[in-house]
């Protein structure tokens, strides 16, 4: 059975725009794969590479200083780095599905060019697989799309190439690509997940690694979210049911008209509940720490699913979105630090990772992240460089997350007076130990009173009768 991919018609116009100029272009295919359908949402041209001595120094710029002439001159690391940056902007359930190319070469029949295509895709696969919490690679398939438009004949060809395996033959499979004249329908699911956790900090000889601390927070958050139960509009749904069935159930029969069918479905509210037994550790260990990280805030999640997708697929996408968003912010925050080996002199240190904003792409939204003090105009630069889109500042939705309230931290003085308010690790453990004994004694007294309640009442009755 031939694999079928659906994409909006403007993707065809996007390809023709570059093919008509008879120039070589390579870029990313962004989309969503579900059990019912595979949709492409956008094609994003990879920016032209600026000269650098190492792959770790790559930086994107709109300056066309080093235009690529053909496929063989493409840097595998450059395209993979582009894929990593774009993955941060994708909501849960959406992935980089492959690459597109406009050129005058026949990339499928020429052995050298086809070998280069496989090299790029495999390098991208390995790069995206490094951070498991970024969910860079689609878990449903190891096949990646390769879309090619000839600048000479304007013929469009799409095939799949398997990645991440020991198979060196690189078997190609044909793909039927369908362009839709109308905008695709998407079901939006919104979730606000609140974090309020305290994590221990242990200072080693090498100091405190901020990246290591954040990695531990991600591991804990991942376990918690994976164990949670998802409710849609306050109800627990059957995982095998399609989202479009929920939409039909909510509509009264009298409202099923031609006009109502053309309306955009309303957003579904998603709530995640963590079972109590999964919120407690299996074993409790005594741990003397040098400090703690209070991780607090609300993560805004907006996921867009094909209406034919199942509830189970929607659940997975929402959970992916929350973890991917955290992983993206932590990575950006650590990259912005001057020294990752951070041991602040202050007793209280406040850090605010970037907040999420939404940017429109077709009939749905992707996201970007703004650091404290940055204006929405900063998002326009990322969208133009990474997604090859032109939007205005008014298009950026900035109110999905509000800046952090730092008033309680500003009230703390960074002097000796604030140091007196903070107990040492020994004092803190002693306080918790004493509190535990008092609470245990209280529970013991109450249990004795309950156990001997009848006997006590009888004795009191006899004493009262004598008087």
What digits encode the pLDDT tens for the residues 70-128?
A: 899 999 999 999 999 999 999 999 999 999 999 998 899 899 999 999 999 999 999 99
Whether the predicted pLDDT of 276 surpasses 90: no
* Residue 466 or residue 6, greater confidence: 6
At 433, the pLDDT band (50, 70, 90 cuts) reads very low
Percent of the chain whose pLDDT exceeds 90: 48
Whether the predicted pLDDT of 445 surpasses 60: no
Confidence (pLDDT) at 345: 53
Confidence (pLDDT) at 341: 61
Whether the predicted pLDDT of 228 surpasses 60: yes
Please choose, from the candidates 257, 230, 229, 228, the residue with its C-alpha nearest in 3D space to the C-alpha of residue 243. Answer: 230
At 172, the pLDDT band (50, 70, 90 cuts) reads confident
Residue pair 112/153 in contact by the 8 Å Cβ criterion: no
Cα separation, 73 vs 116, whole angstroms: 10
Of the segments 146-150, 211-215, 340-344, which one has the largest average pLDDT value?
Answer: 146-150
Confidence (pLDDT) at 91: 96
Confidence (pLDDT) at 395: 94
Whether the predicted pLDDT of 300 surpasses 60: yes
* Residue 458 or residue 247, greater confidence: 247
Please choose, from the candidates 311, 320, 301, 327, the residue with its C-alpha nearest in 3D space to the C-alpha of residue 92. Answer: 320
Please choose, from the candidates 228, 177, 217, the residue with its C-alpha nearest in 3D space to the C-alpha of residue 330. Answer: 217
Q: Residue 373 contacts by C-beta under 8 Å, 6 or more apart in sequence?
A: none
* Residue 63 or residue 29, greater confidence: 29
For the chain, the average pLDDT equals: 80
Q: Which residues pair with 199 in a beta bridge?
A: 293
CA-based torsion, 364, 369, 374, 378: positive or negative: negative
What SS3 state is found at 459? helix
pTM of the model: 0.80
Residue pair 361/379 in contact by the 8 Å Cβ criterion: no
What SS3 state is found at 191? strand
């Amino acid at each position: 059975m031939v694999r079928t991919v659906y994409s909006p018609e403007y993707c065809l116009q996007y390809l023709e725009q570059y093919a008509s100029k008879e120039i070589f272009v390579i870029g990313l295919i962004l989309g969503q794969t579900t059990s019912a359908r595979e949709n492409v949402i956008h094609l994003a041209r990879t920016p032209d590479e600026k000269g650098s001595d190492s792959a770790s120094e790559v930086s994107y710029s709109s300056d066309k200083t080093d235009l690529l002439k053909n496929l063989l001159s493409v840097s595998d690391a450059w395209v993979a780095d582009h894929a990593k940056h774009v993955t941060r902007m994708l909501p849960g359930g959406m992935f980089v599905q492959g690459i597109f190319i406009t050129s005058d070469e026949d990339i499928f029949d020429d052995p050298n060019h086809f070998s280069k295509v496989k090299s790029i895709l495999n390098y991208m696969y390995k790069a995206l697989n490094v951070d498991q919490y970024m969910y860079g690679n689609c878990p449903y398939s190891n096949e990646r799309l390769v879309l090619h438009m000839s600048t000479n004949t304007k013929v469009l060809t799409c095939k799949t190439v398997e990645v991440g395996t020991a198979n060196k033959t690189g078997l190609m499979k044909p793909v039927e690509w369908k362009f839709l004249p109308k905008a695709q329908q998407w079901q939006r699911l919104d979730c606000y997940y609140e974090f309020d956790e305290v994590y221990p900090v242990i200072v080693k000889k090498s100091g405190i690694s901020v990246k290591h601390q954040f990695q531990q927070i991600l591991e804990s958050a991942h376990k918690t979210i994976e164990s949670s139960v998802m409710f849609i509009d306050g109800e627990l749904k059957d995982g095998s049911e399609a989202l479009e069935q929920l939409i039909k159930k909510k509509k009264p029969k009298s409202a099923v008209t031609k006009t109502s069918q053309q309306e955009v479905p309303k957003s579904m509210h998603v709530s995640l509940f963590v079972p109590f037994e999964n919120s407690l550790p299996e074993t409790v260990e005594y741990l003397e720490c040098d400090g703690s990280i209070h991780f607090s805030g609300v993560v805004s999640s907006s996921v867009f699913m094909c209406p034919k997708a199942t509830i189970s697929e929607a659940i997975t996408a929402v959970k992916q979105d929350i973890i991917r968003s955290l992983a993206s912010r932590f990575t950006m925050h650590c990259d912005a630090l001057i020294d990752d080996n951070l041991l602040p002199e202050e007793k209280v240190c406040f850090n605010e990772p970037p907040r999420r904003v939404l940017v429109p792409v077709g009939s749905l939204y992707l996201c970007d992240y703004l650091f404290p003090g940055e204006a929405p105009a900063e998002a326009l630069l990322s969208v133009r460089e990474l997604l090859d889109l032109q939007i205005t500042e008014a298009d950026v939705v900035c109110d999905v997350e509000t800046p952090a309230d730092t008033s309680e931290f500003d009230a703390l003085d960074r002097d000796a007076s604030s140091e007196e308010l903070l107990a040492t690790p020994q004092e803190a453990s002693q306080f918790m130990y004493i509190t535990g004994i008092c609470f245990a004694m209280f529970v013991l007294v109450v249990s004795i009173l309950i156990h001997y309640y009848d006997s006590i009442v009888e004795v009191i009755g006899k004493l009262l009768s004598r008087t």
